[in-house]
Amino acid sequence: VEQYLIRINEHRHLNAFTEIYADEARQQAEAVDQKIADGTAGRLAGMVIGIKDVLSYTGHGVRAGSHILDNFTAQFTATAVQRLLNEDVIIIGRQNCDEFAMGSSNENSSFGPVLNAADTSRVPGGSSGGSAVAVQAGLCLASIGSDTGGSVRQPAAFCGVVGLKPTYGRISRWGLIAYASSFDCIGPIANTVDDAALLLEIMAGADDFDSTVSSQPVSAYTQATLPNRPLRIAYLRDGVESSGVDQTIREATQAKINALQNAGHTVEPVDISLLKYLLPTYYILTTAEASSNLSRFDGVRYGYRSVSADTSALDLLTLYKKSRTEGFGAEVRRRILLGTFVLSASYYDAYYTKAQQVRRLIRQEAEQLFEKYDFLVSPTTPTPAFRLGEKTDYPLQMYLADIFTVQANVIGYPAISIPNGTDASGLPIGLQLMAPPFAEGALVALAKQMY
């Protein structure tokens, strides 16, 4: 704990943490020491982690990177966090992220941007940027992030660490501040696949507080092995051929594909015919869900209330409007407006219903693909980490950073990003592996072989 506190202090300029729990972490460490002496220590005894600022931890602030939750304190602990604590994890602090997990660069945080430790003029990716940089810079051993469209995998790729998004419903969302409920997944970021697998194993499983969580038994992911036969592996043709993907990334991906082929596996290119509909479907559905989820932040029940609203006049509508206008940042406001639009009476069928139908088609196409293949391989991102400010004025370009990651959330499948070398200037490259629902065991087993 002391070592990490020193390193955190030396790396304050990265802005990875929004709050450090120094004294509490020291106390936790002492308690763990005692348990080790008593022989009662849990499986994570001594593991120092950070948690993204969207996870509730009772008695601690939780802000989702937003002014609207100023001074808000969590009233209970997220199931995933509690399960880690039950195994004696030590929580050293909470980590910076894009506001309400909306973003791909961590530039949408009210705490300011996070810097990539590989090159501080570059973004760390988002929205779990602080969580990825904290692992990258050795400020904690692992982090817990959330992934709605790539927010664990994309920053992991930009920072050269491992990021795992489990199957939708594998980990309870109780205590995770909602962005888009039918997409949101909690996931670990770590230095090794083994650490990520262990954290998943402990966080996963049934929970009475989340009706969408799966009751499928949790297997020992850390012990998982691959079937004793050549694997059937598909790779995304666009990932190695499209001119929209950086050449170094295409080459690094091709090298991994060749290695799989040389190991005797069946490796074949595939096209996703609905690829160009992935981002539109994702953004219509997630903004719709976000506009509904974020309606609870009204200036009355949580955190920030506009000081300029005249509460004595009891003009509730003005209070809502001012609090929400002042409390939410530009990207969150943009998404609430877009979501409200696609859900409005005259456009509901044209946008929301249509996007739901396309979501089903995308899922069907994936089901067919995974009848033939065990895994789908692609780059995690089309480019390495871009410069701070480079895409802030171009939201559509920013959204393209998620082109390879959103599919897993649209269909609810598990996917992992593992480091795949660096480009000529030393910027990390990520490789993504995807597997069918609840095949996290095989997924981490293959990831381990490849990293």
Q: Which of these, 297, 294, 406, 300, lies nearest to 339 by C-alpha position?
A: 294
Residue closer to ligand GLN, measured from CB, 103 or 188:
103
Shortest distance, CB of residue 233 to ligand GLN, whole angstroms? Answer: 25
Please give the Cα distance from 371 to 358 (Å, whole number): 20
The kind and range of the H/E element at 267 are: strand 266-270
CA torsion sign for 36, 136, 127, 8 is positive
Residue closer to ligand GLN, measured from CB, 226 or 400:
400
Residue with tokens 């997220």: 78
Residue closer to ligand GLN, measured from CB, 104 or 378:
104
Residue with tokens 């065990």: 374
Q: What is the DSSP string of 381-427?
A: -SSSPPBTTSSTT-HHHHHHTTTTTHHHHHHT--EEEEEEEE-TTS-
Residue closer to ligand GLN, measured from CB, 150 or 384:
150
Residue closer to ligand GLN, measured from CB, 103 or 205:
103
Residue 421 has a CB neighbour count (10 Å cut-off) of: 15
The kind and range of the H/E element at 97 are: none
Residue closer to ligand GLN, measured from CB, 21 or 328:
328
Strands 48-52 and 232-236: unpaired
Residue closer to ligand GLN, measured from CB, 185 or 234:
185
The kind and range of the H/E element at 45 are: none
Show which residues are catalytic.
52, 127, 151
Beta strands in 129-244 (DSSP E): 142-147, 162-165, 185-190, 232-236
Whether the CB-CB separation of 19 and 62 falls below 8 Å is answered with no
Rounded to 5°, angle at Cα 89 from 87 and 92: 160
Q: What is the DSSP string of 280-331?
A: HHHHHHHHHHHHHHGGG-SSSSSS---SSS-GGGT-HHHHHHHHHHHHS-HH
Please give the Cα distance from 290 to 398 (Å, whole number): 18
Residues near ligand GLN, by CB under 6 A: 101-104, 127, 147-151, 179, 286, 402
- Tell me the β-bridge partners of 19: 94
Shortest distance, CB of residue 387 to ligand GLN, whole angstroms? Answer: 17
Shortest distance, CB of residue 376 to ligand GLN, whole angstroms? Answer: 19
Supply φ then ψ for residue 430, to 5 degrees.
-115, 150
What 3-state DSSP class applies to 248? helix
Q: Which residue is nearest to ligand GLN (CB)?
A: 151
